[in-house]
């Protein structure tokens, strides 16, 4: 076996020279001859009946080529948009969703009509001239009361607003009696707009002579889009090509198929011209799926010595107006709610509630940040209740035996939770921080230290677990490796890189497996016309643990065939041929060796062994035996200004373990970005709707608070390495880890800082006004508060 | 009605007739054909469209093309010289200052203005200087390192150039 030289090395990204030169090619950089520009007319109402659509004035506007509404699209789009089972196999109702509204709109931003024009600006002009007469209907905006019998219905013909109601493990009323202390908390998870810096976009060209469709779009998941569109447009997959070029971030919001993904190709087919649509930022915040949007009612009990006894979780999830394609994935918050700990008893129930907001769907972490947040909050509340140090209660209850089967039947593959926490505490200088905190309090300054020991499930996933969840297509991964006669190698993968650096890391794996120089290996992805028949896309921190393994597996098939050919050339038995660092030789004669490239050349020549086909290429599909389970501990240090409620995030320490590391620079970068998004949820971001009108109040980046460079300290990172036993590379995933861990660390730190005021829980975002109000209320109410004011 | 606009973009002169309402960013992307300048919002928050107008950093979605009449514009495509990356481009590469790369051209242009005004900025000055640009991937950690690294490289090369000229004067 080759000695590892590339795996684990800090290799600078090969995609960067083009990206720093302005030569990245994102969706809006593409055009086709004769392209028309499409604008979408959207509902301004959260819930309304469409009485009529008057296109008379718009038809006469300059540059207008066509205006299409539901009746036009109904001729070329069949069926409804998909909703996968995900973690909720049976739903109570899935409101049928067509890409464009017919009689009723159910969220602000739902498409009602599209206009096609010769130039970009004309399309916006003309869209403004389309007059839609709406009859507003009562909207479901209040999640807490949406299930009341007299609540309005998100769809006027629906019996109620229950999307699903699933109990994973029923409650046993007796178990809490075993606990000495029981804490209860409602925990909010505000709606978030994923907001990749590049909004979505679609360009489609239909060839009537070939009856084929080519689609360029900003997607994490081009093969699934092709699958969905083939069905809806009645075009075989062989005649649909989806190309997802450089993509400016996704964070989960570019997984599912969207209305425009159907409408733009359909408009190209209807008009006979290429059609392009680029989302505006306001459209993005209004109509790209949101993340989170939940609240949890949680109860946790422990013994006086800190032993965890029971956890009871109920998730109330705002599905939005339709069930997002992978929206029910977020129910995994229940399945991961026990976190890194042994609990004697657990019960969990998820309730999906239909509202008149845009659907929710996976957003970085998808259910796992919610799980960590609720678990780590409850651990701190229990620690406070029994006056135990937050680190000590964690240490007492960490899972230490692996593989560990959870209450939900999930099998944690490996972990050393205490080691990661110890390392984080050492970097933070935990004891010293506690002393500083005590000193500061005497001076009326409120320092807080927050711990978040996180775990996650990722690397989706084993076929047995994922095929039922997607409605039949198992989330395995494919790769094709082609060796050219000169020994250079092209690798095609079904994952999609949009910032994760696969162009660099996957060739690192191939270089080590084949022993071919890294510079001779090219990676291709994002074009359904290339590579194996199906690719499964990038989400759920799966690319390396599943896709990287597919690449490794295909590369090993290459070695196997090359060994056979080498044995033939050496006139030796196959089992006597060694392969080391890219060279074959007969045992005992390493001086007479042949490089893989030489064998590749020979594979295209004459005199192959009998029955051997020409060429040196292989396809592999990799089906992992389990999910993978990264973990770590993050520590946030904050100071809260009790007079203004402002939070100063002073330090942020993260010790993470994702198993073996392919490229440490890229792993650290993923963690940085992930932490930033979790902190953003903890402190800044929230999609706000007006509860009376259903109007979004945060529809631009003026109102939706994406953090700038001023908001974060330089994160302090370290890692432990506990290889995964699940795959041969020993790798796990790291794309979502930072986000999964960080909201809890920050909120725990804030609660710790405000404990002198008797404040036990703070919801997100912990904005100055929210904290100021809580501090004010506690000062008015509690003895502790009065003490604190001195 | 169309209006004549003449600009110099990355050292090349361009003359076009454009609508009065055409934004400078769309002029660069759709008329001149330089797509390295990106659009990330509708409200001038994100900074992905930042370019240099007569040496000043400008969000090119905040100007009409006609307002650029007679001006010299530098976009990301004009930063590398003779196939050599600009020190800022090199530093973003070296320090892993980008992931998806969409905000990167705007950051590099804003940073080039910052360094032209303040060749040796502190961490805090970098934060203040680039607060008009948003990145969703990096948590900004490596962007700060990139700008620091570029400043160092550029000051180094200036110091070297200084040494050369001093040496020249001595001889």
Average pLDDT, 10 consecutive residues per value, chain A (790 residues): 76 97 98 98 98 98 98 97 94 97 98 98 98 98 95 97 98 95 98 98 97 98 96 97 98 97 98 98 98 98 98 98 96 98 98 98 97 98 98 98 97 98 98 98 97 96 89 93 97 96 97 95 97 94 96 98 98 96 95 96 97 98 97 98 98 98 98 98 97 93 96 97 97 97 98 97 98 94 48
Subunit contact B98:A19, Cβ cutoff 8 A = yes
Please state, in angstroms and as integers, the Cα–Cα distance from residue A213 to each residue in A26, A232, A239, A274, A620, following that order: 19, 13, 6, 10, 27
Chain B contact set for A198 (CB, 8 A): 38, 40, 100, 102
pLDDT digits (tens, 9 = 90+) for A217-269: 999 999 999 999 999 999 999 999 999 999 999 999 999 999 999 999 999 99
Say how far apart CA A71 and CA A74 lie, in whole Å. Answer: 5
* Number of structural domains found in chain B: 2
* Number of structural domains found in chain A: 3
* Contact between A729 and A741 (Cβ < 8 Å): no
Residue A173 lies in a domain: no
Write the CB contacts of A473 (distance below 8 Å, at least 6 apart in sequence): A224, A227, A467, A534, A536
Which of B78, B104, B132 is the endpoint of a domain? B78
- Closest-CA residue of A relative to B75 is A22
* Contact between A305 and A194 (Cβ < 8 Å): no
Say how far apart CA A395 and CA A418 lie, in whole Å. Answer: 6
Chain A contact set for B142 (CB, 8 A): 669, 672
SS (H, E, C) A716-747: EEEECCCCCCCCCCCECCCCCHHHHHHHHHHH
Write the CB contacts of B97 (distance below 8 Å, at least 6 apart in sequence): B91, B104, B107, B138, B142, B143, B145, B146
CB proximity B140 to A under 8 Å: yes
Residue A11 lies in a domain: no
Enter the tokens of residue A636.
């946030």
pLDDT score at A641: 98
Residue A328 lies in a domain: no
Write the CB contacts of A332 (distance below 8 Å, at least 6 apart in sequence): A87, A366, A367, A368, A371, A457
For residue A709, give the nearest of B77, B127, B137 by CB distance: B127
Residues B84, B109 within the same domain = yes
Residues B50, B5 within the same domain = yes
Residue A666 lies in a domain: yes
pLDDT score at B167: 42
Subunit contact A249:B137, Cβ cutoff 8 A = yes
Write the CB contacts of A211 (distance below 8 Å, at least 6 apart in sequence): A235, A239
CB proximity B150 to A under 8 Å: no
Closest CA–CA distance from residue A742 to any residue of chain B (Å): 12
Which of A240, A274, A308 is the endpoint of a domain? A274
Chain A contact set for B79 (CB, 8 A): 21-22
* Contact between B92 and B112 (Cβ < 8 Å): no
Q: Is A350 helix (H, G, I), strand (E, B) or coil?
A: strand
Residues A695, A549 within the same domain = no
Residues B73, B86 within the same domain = no
Chain B contact set for A669 (CB, 8 A): 96, 99, 137-138, 142
Say how far apart CA A40 and CA A120 lie, in whole Å. Answer: 12
Residues B73, B109 within the same domain = no
Which of A605, A622, A639 is the endpoint of a domain? A622
Give the relative orientation of helices B87-94 and B141-170 as an angle to the nearest 10 degrees.
140
Residues B170, B88 within the same domain = yes
Residues A571, A490 within the same domain = yes
pLDDT score at B160: 58
Kindly state the DSSP code that residue B28 receives in the 8-state scheme: I
Residues A420, A488 within the same domain = no
Bridge partners of A316, per DSSP, are A295, A351
Subunit contact B35:A498, Cβ cutoff 8 A = no
Residues A77, A100 within the same domain = yes
Chain B contact set for A26 (CB, 8 A): 35, 38, 102
Residues A613, A635 within the same domain = no
Residues B70, B27 within the same domain = yes
* Contact between B115 and B107 (Cβ < 8 Å): no
Which of B47, B78, B109 is the endpoint of a domain? B78
Range of the domain at B51: 1-78
Chain B contact set for A117 (CB, 8 A): none
Write down the mean pLDDT value for chain A.
Answer: 96
Q: Could you give the dihedral angle defined by the CA atoms of residues A591, A594, A595 and A596, in that order, rounded to the nearest 10 degrees?
A: -140
Residues B59, B98 within the same domain = no
Residues A630, A712 within the same domain = yes
CB proximity B39 to A under 8 Å: yes
Which region, left, alpha or beta, applies to residue A559 given φ > 0 means left and ψ of -120 to 50 means alpha? alpha
Which of A622, A654, A675 is the endpoint of a domain? A622
Say how far apart CA A11 and CA A406 lie, in whole Å. Answer: 38
CB proximity B60 to A under 8 Å: no
Which region, left, alpha or beta, applies to residue A604 given φ > 0 means left and ψ of -120 to 50 means alpha? alpha
Kindly state the DSSP code that residue B23 receives in the 8-state scheme: B
Residue A647 lies in a domain: yes
Residues B93, B72 within the same domain = no
Residues A551, A659 within the same domain = no
Residues B111, B52 within the same domain = no
CB atoms closer than 10 angstroms to residue A236: 10
Cα angle A723, A724, A725 (rounded to 5 degrees) comes to 115
Q: Is A175 helix (H, G, I), strand (E, B) or coil?
A: helix
Which secondary structure element, helix H or strand E, spans residue A490, and what is its range? strand A489-493
By C-alpha distance, which of A252, A754, A285, A596 is closest to B40?
A285
Q: Look-up: residue for tokens 């050369």?
A: B164
Subunit contact B100:A197, Cβ cutoff 8 A = yes
Residues B33, B104 within the same domain = no
What's the helix, strand, coil split of chain B in %, to 5?
45, 20, 40
For residue A676, give the nearest of B96, B105, B139 by CB distance: B139
Range of the domain at A497: 16-20+477-622
For residue A499, give the nearest of B40, B99, B134 by CB distance: B99
For residue A656, give the CATH number of its domain. 3.30.365.10
Interface test with B, best of A21, A201, A281, A683 (most B CBs within 10 A): A21
Residue A44 lies in a domain: yes
**For chain B, what's the residue count?**
171
Residues A458, A590 within the same domain = no
Size of interface A-B (CB pairs under 8 A): 175
The model carries a pTM of: 0.96
Q: Report ipTM (2 d.p.).
A: 0.96
Residues A449, A491 within the same domain = no
Residue A438 lies in a domain: yes
Subunit contact A281:B134, Cβ cutoff 8 A = no
Q: What is the DSSP string of A509-566?
A: HHHHHH---GGGEEEE-SBTTSSSS----S-TT-IIIIIIHHHHHHHHHHHHHHHHHH
Residues B69, B135 within the same domain = no
Residues A220, A100 within the same domain = yes
HSE (CB half, 13 Å, CA atoms) of A610?
0
Say how far apart CA B62 and CA B59 lie, in whole Å. Answer: 6
Residues A555, A590 within the same domain = yes
Closest CA–CA distance from residue A4 to any residue of chain B (Å): 23
Subunit contact B127:A702, Cβ cutoff 8 A = no
For residue B141, give the CATH number of its domain. 1.10.150.120
pLDDT score at B162: 52
Chain B contact set for A24 (CB, 8 A): 36, 101-102
Closest CA–CA distance from residue A181 to any residue of chain B (Å): 39
For residue B20, give the CATH number of its domain. 3.10.20.30
Residues B68, B96 within the same domain = no
pLDDT in tens, chain B (171 residues): 899 999 999 999 999 999 999 999 999 999 999 999 999 999 999 999 999 999 999 999 999 999 999 999 999 999 999 999 999 999 999 999 999 999 999 999 999 999 999 999 999 999 999 999 999 999 999 999 999 999 999 998 766 555 544 444 443
Say how far apart CA A502 and CA B167 lie, in whole Å. Answer: 48
Residues A42, A102 within the same domain = yes
């Amino acid at each position: 076996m080759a000695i590892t030289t590339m795996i684990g090395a800090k290799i600078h990204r090969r995609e960067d020279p083009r990206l720093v030169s302005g030569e990245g090619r994102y969706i809006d950089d593409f055009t086709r001859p004769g392209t028309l520009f499409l604008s979408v007319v959207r509902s301004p109402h959260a819930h309304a009946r469409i009485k009529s659509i008057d296109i008379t004035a718009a038809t006469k506007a300059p540059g207008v080529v066509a205006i299409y509404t539901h009746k036009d699209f109904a001729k070329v789009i069949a069926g409804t948009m998909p909703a996968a089972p995900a973690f909720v196999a049976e739903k109570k109702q899935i409101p049928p969703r067509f890409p464009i509204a017919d009689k009723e709109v159910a969220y602000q931003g739902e498409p009602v009509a599209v206009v096609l024009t010769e130039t970009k600006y004309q399309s916006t002009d003309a869209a403004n001239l389309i007059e839609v007469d709406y009859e507003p209907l009562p909207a479901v905006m209040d999640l807490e009361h949406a299930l009341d019998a007299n609540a309005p219905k998100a769809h006027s013909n629906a019996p109620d607003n229950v999307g699903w109601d699933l109990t994973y493990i029923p409650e046993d009323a007796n178990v809490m009696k075993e606990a000495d202390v029981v804490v209860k908390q409602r925990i909010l998870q505000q709606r978030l707009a994923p907001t990749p810096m590049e909004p979505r976009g679609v360009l489609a060209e239909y060839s009537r002579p070939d009856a084929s469709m080519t689609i360029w779009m900003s997607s994490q998941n081009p093969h699934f889009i092709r699958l969905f569109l083939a069905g809806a447009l009645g075009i075989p997959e062989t005649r649909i090509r989806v190309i997802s070029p450089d993509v400016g971030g996704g964070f989960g919001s570019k997984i599912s198929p969207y209305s425009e993904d159907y409408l733009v190709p359909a408009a190209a087919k209807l008009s006979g011209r290429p059609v392009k649509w680029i989302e505006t930022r306001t459209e993005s915040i209004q109509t790209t799926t949101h993340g989170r949007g939940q609240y949890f009612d949680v109860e946790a009990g422990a013994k006086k010595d800190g032993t965890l006894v029971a956890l009871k979780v109920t998730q109330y999830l705002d599905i939005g107006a339709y069930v997002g394609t992978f929206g029910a994935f977020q129910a995994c918050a229940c399945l991961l709610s026990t976190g890194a700990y042994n609990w004697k008893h657990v019960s969990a129930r998820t309730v999906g509630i239909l509202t008149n907001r845009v659907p929710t769907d996976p957003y970085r972490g998808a259910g796992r940040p919610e799980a960590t947040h609720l678990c780590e909050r409850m651990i701190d509340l229990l620690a406070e209740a029994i006056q135990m140090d937050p680190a000590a209660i964690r240490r007492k209850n960490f899972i230490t035996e692996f593989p560990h089967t959870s209450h939900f039947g999930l099998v944690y593959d490996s972990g050393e939770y205490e080691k990661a926490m110890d390392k984080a505490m050492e970097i933070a200088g935990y004891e010293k921080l506690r002393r500083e905190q005590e000193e500061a309090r005497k001076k009326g300054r409120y320092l807080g230290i927050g711990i978040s020991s996180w775990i996650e499930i990722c690397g989706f996933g084993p076929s047995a677990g994922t095929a039922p969840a997607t409605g039949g297509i198992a989330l395995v991964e494919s790769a094709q490796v082609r060796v050219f006669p000169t020994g250079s190698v092209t690798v095609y993968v079904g994952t999609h890189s949009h910032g994760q650096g696969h162009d660099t890391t996957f060739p690192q794996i191939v270089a080590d497996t084949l022993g071919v120089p890294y510079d001779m290996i090219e990676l291709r992805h994002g074009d359904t016309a290339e590579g194996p028949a199906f690719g499964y896309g990038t989400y759920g921190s799966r690319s390396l643990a599943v896709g990287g393994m597919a690449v490794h597996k295909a590369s090993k098939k290459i070695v196997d065939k090359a060994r056979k050919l080498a044995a033939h050339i050496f006139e030796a038995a196959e089992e006597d041929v060694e392969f080391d660092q890219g060279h074959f030789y007969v045992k005992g004669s390493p001086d007479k060796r042949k490089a893989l490239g030489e064998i590749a050349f020979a594979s295209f020549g004459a005199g192959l062994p009998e029955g051997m086909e020409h060429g040196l290429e292989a396809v592999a599909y990799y089906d992992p035996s389990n999910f993978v389970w990264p973990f770590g501990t993050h520590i946030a240090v904050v100071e809260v200004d009790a007079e203004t409620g402002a939070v100063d995030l002073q330090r942020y320490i993260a010790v993470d373990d994702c198993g073996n590391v392919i490229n440490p620079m890229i792993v650290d970068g993923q963690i940085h970005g992930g932490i930033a998004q979790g902190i953003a949820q903890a402190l800044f971001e929230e999609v706000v709707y007006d509860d009376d009108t259903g109007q979004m109040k945060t529809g631009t980046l003026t109102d939706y608070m994406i953090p700038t460079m001023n908001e974060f300290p330089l994160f302090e990172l370290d890692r432990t390495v506990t290889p995964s036993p699940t795959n041969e590379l020993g790798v796990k995933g790291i794309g979502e880890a930072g986000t999964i861990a960080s909201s809890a660390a920050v909120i725990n730190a804030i609660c710790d800082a405000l404990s002198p005021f008797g404040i036990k829980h703070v919801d997100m975002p912990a904005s100055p006004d929210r904290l100021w109000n809580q501090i004010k209320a506690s000062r008015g109410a509690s003895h502790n508060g009065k003490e604190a004011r001195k | 009605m169309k209006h004549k606009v003449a600009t110099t973009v990355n050292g090349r002169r361009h003359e076009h007739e454009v609508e009065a309402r055409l934004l400078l960013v769309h002029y660069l992307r759709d008329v001149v054909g330089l797509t390295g300048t990106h659009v990330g919002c509708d409200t001038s928050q994100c900074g992905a469209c930042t370019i240099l107008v007569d040496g000043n950093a400008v969000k090119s979605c905040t100007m009409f093309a006609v307002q650029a009449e007679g001006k010299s514009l530098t976009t990301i495509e004009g930063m590398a010289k003779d196939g050599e990356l600009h020190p800022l481009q090199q530093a973003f590469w070296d320090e892993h200052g980008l992931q998806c790369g969409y905000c990167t051209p705007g950051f590099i242009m804003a940073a080039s203005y910052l360094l032209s005004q303040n060749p040796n900025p502190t961490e805090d000055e970098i934060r203040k200087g680039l607060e008009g640009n948003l990145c969703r991937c990096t948590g900004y950690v490596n962007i700060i390192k990139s700008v620091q690294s570029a400043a160092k490289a550029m000051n180094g090369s200036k110091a070297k150039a200084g040494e050369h000229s001093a040496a020249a004067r001595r001889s």
